[in-house]
Amino acid sequence: MHSSTVRHARRMPAIGAIVALAAGTLVAVAPAAHAAAGATLPFTSVEAESASTTGTRIGPDYTQGTLASEASGRQAVRLGSGQRVEFTVPRASNAVNIAYSVPDGQSGSLNVYVNGTRIARTIPVTSKYSYVDTGWIAGARTHHFYDNARLLLGQNVQAGDKVAVESTGTQVTVDVADFEQVGAAATQPAGSVSVVSKGADPGGNGDSTQAFRDAIAAAQGGTVWIPPGDYRLTSSLSGVQNVTLQGAGSWYSVVHTSRFIDQSSSSGNVHIKDFAVIGEVTERVDSSPDNFVNGSLGANSSVSGMWIQHLKCGLWLTGTNDNLVVEDNRILDTTADGLNLNGTAKGVRVRNNFLRNQGDDSLAMWSLYAPDTDSSFENNTISQPNLANGIAIYGGTDIAVRNNLVSDTNALGSGIAISNQKFMDPFSPLAGTITVDGNTLVRTGAVNPNWNHPMGALRVDSYDSAINATVNITNTTITDSPYSAFEFVSGGGQGNPVRNVNVTGATVKNTGTVVVQAETQGSAAFRNVTATGVGAAGVYNCPYPAGSFSLTDGGGNSGWSSTWSDCSSWPQPGQSNPEPDPNRNLAKGRPATATGSQDVYTPGKADDGDANTYWESANNAFPQSWTVDLGSSYGVRRVVLKLPPSSAWGARTQTVAVLGSTNGSTYSTVAGAQGYRFDPATGNTATVTLPAGTSLRYLRLTVTANTAWPAAQFSEVEAYQTS
| pLDDT tens digits along 586-622 | 999 888 999 999 999 999 999 989 999 999 999 999 9
The DSSP secondary-structure symbol of 151 reads E
**For residue 477, how far is the Cα from the chain centroid?**
14
The DSSP secondary-structure symbol of 688 reads E
pLDDT of 544: 87
Q: Does pLDDT of 183 surpass 50?
A: yes
| 243 in Cβ contact with 266 (< 8 Å) | no
Residue 259: which of 224, 289, 296, 287 has the closest Cα?
A: 289
Q: Is the peptide bond before 603 cis (omega within 30 degrees of 0)?
A: no
The DSSP secondary-structure symbol of 282 reads -
32 — pLDDT class (breaks 50, 70, 90): very low
Q: What is the mean pLDDT of residues 655-673?
A: 95
6 — pLDDT class (breaks 50, 70, 90): very low
Distance CA 253, CA 246 (A): 9
Q: Does pLDDT of 121 surpass 70?
A: yes
pLDDT digits (tens, 9 = 90+) for 287-340: 999 999 999 999 999 999 999 999 999 999 999 999 999 999 999 999 999 999
| 652 in Cβ contact with 680 (< 8 Å) | no
pLDDT of 5: 35
Q: What is the pTM of this model?
A: 0.83
The angle subtended at Cα 570 by Cα 565 and Cα 574, nearest 5°, is 85
Q: Does pLDDT of 23 surpass 80?
A: no
pLDDT of 452: 82
Residue 91 burial (CB < 10 Å; 0-12/13-18/19+)?
middle
Q: What is the mean pLDDT of residues 78-106?
A: 98
Residue 631: which of 533, 689, 548, 532 has the closest Cα?
A: 548
The DSSP secondary-structure symbol of 340 reads E
Provide φ and ψ at 545, rounded to 5°: -85, -10
**For residue 570, how far is the Cα from the chain centroid?**
20
The DSSP secondary-structure symbol of 294 reads E
Q: Does pLDDT of 561 surpass 60?
A: yes
131 — pLDDT class (breaks 50, 70, 90): very high
Q: What is the mean pLDDT of residues 30-56?
A: 85
Count of CA atoms in the C-beta half-sphere (13 A) of 518: 30
pLDDT of 581: 76
pLDDT of 17: 30
Q: What is the mean pLDDT of residues 70-83?
A: 97
Q: What is the mean pLDDT of residues 689-714?
A: 96
Distance CA 711, CA 704 (A): 9
Q: Does pLDDT of 46 surpass 60?
A: yes
pLDDT of 2: 54
How many CB atoms within 10 Å of residue 669? 12
Residue 284: which of 418, 386, 161, 437 has the closest Cα?
A: 386
Task: Specify the DSSP element, H or E, that contains 210.
Answer: helix 209-218
Distance CA 406, CA 381 (A): 6
| 615 in Cβ contact with 713 (< 8 Å) | yes
Distance CA 7, CA 453 (A): 10
Distance CA 491, CA 324 (A): 31
Q: Does pLDDT of 7 surpass 70?
A: no
pLDDT of 281: 98
Distance CA 223, CA 326 (A): 18
Residue 714: which of 587, 629, 550 has the closest Cα?
A: 587
- Residues contacting residue 454 through CB under 8 Å, at least 6 positions apart: 14, 445, 446, 447, 448, 482, 483, 484, 487, 513, 517, 570
Q: Parallel, antiparallel, or unpaired for β 107-114 and 162-167?
A: antiparallel
Q: What is the mean pLDDT of residues 452-481?
A: 96
pLDDT digits (tens, 9 = 90+) for 382-415: 999 999 999 999 999 999 999 999 999 998 999 9
pLDDT of 220: 94
Q: Parallel, antiparallel, or unpaired for β 354-356 and 381-383?
A: parallel
pLDDT of 4: 34
203 — pLDDT class (breaks 50, 70, 90): very high
| 362 in Cβ contact with 336 (< 8 Å) | no
Provide φ and ψ at 605, rounded to 5°: -70, -15
The fraction of the chain above a pLDDT of 70, given in percent, is 95
Distance CA 307, CA 274 (A): 8
Distance CA 428, CA 341 (A): 13
| 145 in Cβ contact with 172 (< 8 Å) | no
**For residue 69, how far is the Cα from the chain centroid?**
16
Distance CA 137, CA 702 (A): 51
Q: Does pLDDT of 11 surpass 60?
A: no
Q: Is the peptide bond before 42 cis (omega within 30 degrees of 0)?
A: no
Specify the 3-state DSSP secondary structure of 293: strand
129 — pLDDT class (breaks 50, 70, 90): very high
pLDDT of 35: 59
- Residues contacting residue 276 through CB under 8 Å, at least 6 positions apart: 247, 250, 251, 253, 254, 255, 306, 307, 308, 309
End-to-end CA distance of the chain: 52
Q: Does pLDDT of 632 surpass 90?
A: no
How many CB atoms within 10 Å of residue 234? 12
Average pLDDT of the residues of the chain: 93
